[in-house]
Amino acid sequence: MSRVGGRVPQEIVEQARNIILVGLMGSGKTTVGKALARKLGVPFVDSDHEIEARTGVRIPTIFEVEGEAGFRRREAQVIAELCAQDGIVIATGGGAVMDPENRRVMRQGAWVVYLDVPVRLLFERTRHDDNRPLLKVADPMAKLESLRALRDPLYREVADFVLDGGRYHSNQAVQRLFKEWETRCAASK
């Protein structure tokens, strides 16, 4: 993987090999992750996009052909490979935390950030997105509420930092995370 802007800042290598963003679908992991990586001058990888690039098909197709279990196996492999790299910002799929091994791998040498966003806002962000197979149900709002109830404790378990994503626009979220990162790096010196 190529490095954006040359070398990876030493703080990332010393403090944590990677920065990983977790949260429900629509929480802004990709948007915030890309901008944070740009600000830090490091590469960004979205695990869902990586799966699509490797398979040559969109995630809904993987769900149709292999089911959720097949998708989760692919996801676990990609997350393990990404977490083995150094100096990148990674956005995970919303359900990645369901696998205990994924949570273990994420916690090893990474700074994990949970983008916690209210369900109503998640619904507004995802309701017209055809690439969300878990929301292809009669009541997507109820599905989001159920996913949040199930996953929120796992996001909190793996997270080093929880950002209230309902309070920040994406640019503000990036600034807040960057500031937290700088504080974290300064405290470790």
Q: Is the pLDDT of residue 6 over 90?
A: no
In this prediction, residues 132-159 reach a mean pLDDT of 86
Does 188 fall in a domain?
A: no
Among residues 86, 110, 95, 98, which one has the least CA distance to residue 27? 95
pLDDT tier at 62, thresholds 50, 70, 90? very high
Residue 107's pLDDT is 92
46-to-22, 27, 31, 41, 87 alpha-carbon distances in Å = 11, 13, 10, 16, 14
User: What residue numbers bound the domain in which 149 lies?
Assistant: 10-182
- Residue 178 falls inside a structural domain: yes
Domain for residue 189, yes or no?
no
In a domain, 132, yes or no: yes
- The more confidently predicted of residues 93 and 125 is 93
* 95-121 per-position pLDDT tens digit: 999 999 999 999 987 899 999 999 998
Residue 69 within any structural domain of the chain = yes
Number of independent structural domains in the chain: 1
Return phi, psi of residue 95, to 5°. -95, 5
pLDDT in tens, 159-174: 999 998 888 788 899 9
Nearest partner of 106 among 126, 84, 128, 124, judged by Cα: 84
Give percent of the chain above pLDDT 70: 85
Which residue is associated with the tokens 């590469």? Answer: 43
Q: What mean pLDDT value characterizes the chain?
A: 85
187, part of any domain:
no
Nearest to 74 by CA among 47, 100, 108: 47
Q: What pLDDT shows up at residue 189?
A: 63
Phi then psi for residue 169, to 5 deg, are -70, 160
Is 46 part of a structural domain of the chain? yes
For the stretch 63-82, pLDDT in tens is 889 998 999 999 999 999 99
CA pair distance 162, 56, nearest whole angstrom: 33
> Residue 23 maps to which CATH number?
3.40.50.300
Residue 50 has a pLDDT of: 95
Backbone angles phi, psi at 109, to 5 degrees: 70, 25
Q: Which residue has the higher pLDDT, 55 or 135?
A: 55
Is residue 137 domain-resident? yes
Rounded distance, CA 162 to CA 177, Å? 10
